[in-house]
Chains A and B, each alone.
Chain A
């Protein structure tokens, strides 16, 4: 129990827990039916965070099941190629199930068990959160239903099979854009209907309060570890911390511990798709306008009539028109900066990291790598990149994009 790291909730939270807001962003814009459930989750989470037994169980599972702490690994050949002496990869791809998503699903499944909820629902884009949720449900013997856009079901067929193998039921969503946005709508509809016995494990730092701060807290282990590791290896703080941003959970996870370190640049990299001028991208923070989607106020891709605009990215996990409210707040306050790279940049970065470092990154993660390749050379001080997930799930999709379908 002595080894249990504290949940950073109360001590570090930047959100006002009373209003559930980050500045003007966040809040609880949901049907009345869910308000009682949100209160219940908020109370349960506050109690769990203060309970040493909860923290100890989470710490034990993180160590023995997930495989934490993950290494901070120096990308020497990538660094040499861009002329930077100190590029480091925070290896979340080495977590069990291959991405950072499991940090959150184990935490929330423990919370669901505490609340006596035996049925779990989740949305998924790339499928990584769905797999991580299905995995947590297997440990705790919970029923698991995962909503996934039909287009993503096709893009990420392997992850669909993995979820089913883990005992989850995958429900393809055919409405709207048939991607993550509509999968989230459908998950919320399920929760509204089955709220009494169901917990909704949201996969990113989005949704109504308390989800953005709770998911951030469960993911903040990434930054807490990375900060200690870079201090040990380099004897100094990094010059920049870089992460991809769709909803933004891996970015919030690695940023959070560094927020008080004003000298550390925090760089979030959005999916520029086919370029911002094409209109086919997911760069909510770059060109969105604040609006309400999925229960919170945040930057949002929308048209002049307030209809949510379809997002696009080659990576299913970034293909989302909204973004977590804390990122909107960090953007406006200037504490974090947000950039974007295109689909092609990300595909090239995936290839280059694979060949330089022997690590095939997820297409989502490749956006952060692409930013480092493009902008890292002149960065003062060590660069820490959140290597949020492994790319095995994307290999078939990329081969198809290259016209090498015969390999699949």
Chain B
């Protein structure tokens, strides 16, 4: 599903758009209409965050959305229910984005089954780097879910194939050291970094961390197979609501061609 979405965009000569949103935010009942609006605005793959109390890879915007979502009463079960409701209405693939502990507590096997049943296509665990837990990773690799691997700017190029091992769907390249969050400038060396990663692995490469405007998305889209936009979207949802968020995603889509 995910690789097909990337392939479809590539066939059109442009990059895939991957928006991130936190489930249960900005309000308890926002998840399903929000996902629908983003799918209709041109999202190719959706990242849906299951909030965690200690989001240590996230910057202030997504932290705040996670805390607000938990205060709204969001649970893993509720996120999966909402995902199933969305799946009944749209086909856009969804990657569940979270931290390891909620999955461990839910039970890894049970989580995988429930996520597949709800219509998830992929899973991204920010605190499960490649090799951290081989037994757990093989459960995920053998599951129907795509395991989305992350490559960091600190990952040595020679280790990229190792780090990508078992990954499927796409490879998520973190474009700079740091936590998630919108930024005003992008790395000068991004094009050569993405090129080197693409040469080393046989997966589409999506770039995230810090992309906040259609202009930046266009620059990144010129060099990468996909563009992930999270904090800048979540901030718009917080300040202006779902319609403005969808309009922002449409503007990113337009910039990507």
Contact = CB atoms under 8 A, between A and B. Distances in A.
B128 A29 contact: yes
B133 A29 contact: yes
B127 A194 contact: no
B151 A306 contact: no
Contacts of B126: 31
B164 to A, nearest CB: 11
B100 A292 contact: yes
A274 B154 CA distance: 45
Contacts of A27: 132-133
Interface stretch (B14-22, B172-180, B245-253): B172-180
A33 interface: yes
Nearest to B152: A33
Contact of A307 (B52, B100, B127): B52
Interface in A155-189: 175-176, 181-182, 185, 188-189
Interface stretch (B1-9, B102-110, B113-121, B192-200): B102-110
A36 B154 contact: yes
B102 A295 contact: no
A47 B100 CA distance: 32
Contacts of B103: 306
A354 interface: no
A33 B154 contact: yes
Nearest to B163: A32
B59 interface: yes
B56 A307 contact: no
Nearest to A182: B54
Interface in B16-75: 52-57, 59-60, 63, 67, 70, 75
Interface string A246-272: 000000000000000000000000000
A27 to B, nearest CB: 6
B155 interface: yes
A389 B163 CA distance: 43
Nearest to B127: A29
Contact of A304 (B54, B55, B70, B105): B105
Interface string A269-290: 0000000000000000000011
Nearest to A295: B127
Query: Which of B63, B67, B106, B163 is the most central at the interface, judged by chain A CB atoms within 10 Å of its CB?
Result: B63
B101 A302 contact: yes
A402 interface: no
Contacts of A289: 105
Most A CB contacts (10 A, CB to CB) among B56, B76, B129 go to: B56
A181 to B, nearest CB: 7
B77 to A, nearest CB: 8
Interface residues of A, number: 37
Nearest to A31: B57
B63 A175 contact: yes
A35 interface: yes
A115 interface: no
Given A307-B102, A308-B101, A30 B129 contact: yes
Interface in B176-195: 177-179
Given A30-B127, A192-B179, A307 B67 contact: no
Nearest to A305: B75
Contact of A196 (B55, B56, B177): B177
A195 interface: yes
Interface string B199-227: 00000000000000000000000000000
Interface string A4-36: 000000000000000000000001111111111
Contact of B155 (A36, A302, A308): A36
A181 B103 CA distance: 20
Contacts of B101: 291-293, 300, 302, 306-308
Contacts of B63: 175
B150 interface: yes
Nearest to A306: B105
A192 B105 contact: no
B153 interface: yes
B127 A292 contact: yes
Contacts of B177: 33, 192-196
Contact of A306 (B104, B127, B128, B156): B104
19 contacts: A28-B129, A28-B132, A32-B151, A32-B154, A32-B174, A33-B153, A175-B63, A185-B54, A192-B57, A193-B177, A193-B179, A291-B101, A292-B99, A292-B101, A292-B127, A294-B54, A302-B101, A302-B105, A306-B104
Given A32-B129, A291-B104, A306-B101, 9 more contacts: A31-B129, A36-B156, A185-B56, A192-B177, A194-B177, A291-B101, A292-B104, A300-B101, A305-B105
4 A-B pairs with least C-beta separation: A306-B105, A306-B102, A33-B152, A193-B178
Interface of A: 27-37, 175-176, 181-182, 185, 188-189, 192-196, 289-295, 300, 302, 304-308
